[in-house]
């Protein structure tokens, strides 16, 4: 069975794929100090809790945080006796081209999303991923990653206001009743929520204009449905997009080695 690990700057998601479906998905915060042994204690206790007795034979990792990769390699080697495939590293081949400026390091999560999006929806896509940052990945007709946009994440934007301004509290994002806020929290939520609606619409419209072909807009990440509630911004929402991409890349590499 496959253990797929998606490390973001905030959270790390572990999923077990049995060849047909995901048996379980667990989330932990990303911490580069975490050792291989700590990952194992955490994962094995969750598996035991769900009475899951599976043999993990393959591991694939996508990490936007370079420092966690070493310990995840040790974890795969020590506890599952396998060498993980690490997206973006030597030994991992992608089923799509990456056409960007030479010397540019594209975030592996964006490459994985590109592979998943092309596999599920075909070419000419904009993939909007609401994570620590909000990224727009542009997928060409042939499935190639050809660039995109990086904007500050929703929670990061709210947190930045709180951190920088003494009188602004920590608030969670929600869809405000009105645009004109009548208290501090409502004003902050309005700024980020409606500002984000504008950001998404403008960025997608300009990408479509530059690309010159009709594109599908795919969204992923926990906050996508919140924005979709206010306006029909996305053609599809897929919360498992990154995990699906990891499964596709794993299969592609195992068949070739």
Ligand X SMILES: Nc1ncnc2c1ncn2[C@@H]1O[C@H](COP(=O)(O)OP(=O)(O)OP(=O)(O)O)[C@@H](O)[C@H]1O
Residues annotated within the binding site for K(+) are 129
Residue 28 contacts ligand X per CB under 6 A: no
| Residue range at the interface with ligand PAU (CB under 6 A); choices 78-86, 101-109, 166-174, 234-242 | 101-109
Residue 150 contacts ligand PAU per CB under 6 A: yes
Shortest separation between residue 7's beta carbon and K ion, angstroms:
9
Which residues sit in the known binding site for ATP?
A: 6-13, 132
Active-site residue identified among 109, 124, 137, 140: 109
Residue 117 contacts K ion per CB under 5 A: no
Which residues sit in the known binding site?
A: 6-13, 107-110, 129, 132, 184
Active site includes 109? yes
**Cα separation, 3 vs 71, whole angstroms:** 15
Out of 1, 10, 141, 186, the only residue in the binding site for ligand X (CB under 6 A) is: 10
**Of residues 128-157, which lie at the interface with K ion (CB under 5 A)?**
131
Shortest separation between residue 9's beta carbon and ligand PAU, angstroms:
6
Residues at the interface with ligand PAU (CB under 6 A): 8-9, 64, 105-107, 109-110, 131-133, 135, 150
């Amino acid at each position: 069975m496959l253990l797929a690990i998606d490390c973001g700057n905030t959270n790390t998601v572990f999923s077990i794929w049995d060849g047909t479906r995901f048996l379980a998905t667990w989330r932990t915060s990303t911490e580069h100090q975490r050792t291989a042994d700590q990952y194992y204690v955490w994962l094995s206790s969750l598996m035991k809790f769900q009475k899951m007795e599976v043999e993990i034979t393959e591991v694939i990792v996508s990490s936007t945080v370079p420092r966690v990769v070493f310990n995840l390699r040790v974890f795969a080697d020590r506890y599952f006796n396998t060498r993980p495939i690490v997206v973006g590293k030597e030994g991992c081949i992608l089923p799509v081209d990456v056409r960007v400026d030479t010397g540019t390091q594209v975030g592996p999560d964006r490459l994985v999303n590109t592979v998943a999006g092309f596999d599920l929806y075909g070419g000419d896509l904009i993939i909007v991923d609401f994570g620590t940052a909000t990224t727009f990945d542009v997928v060409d007709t042939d499935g190639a990653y050809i660039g995109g946009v990086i904007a500050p994440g929703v929670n990061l934007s709210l947190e930045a206001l709180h951190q920088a301004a003494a009188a602004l509290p920590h608030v969670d994002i929600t869809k405000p009743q009105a645009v004109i806020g009548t208290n501090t929290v409502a004003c902050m939520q309005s700024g980020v929520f409606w500002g984000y609606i504008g950001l998404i619409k403008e960025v997608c419209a300009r990408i479509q204009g530059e690309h010159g072909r009709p594109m599908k807009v795919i969204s992923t990440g926990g906050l996508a449905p919140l924005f979709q509630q206010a306006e029909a911004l996305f053609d599809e929402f897929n919360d498992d997009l990154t995990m699906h991409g990891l499964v596709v890349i794993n299969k592609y590499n195992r068949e070739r080695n």
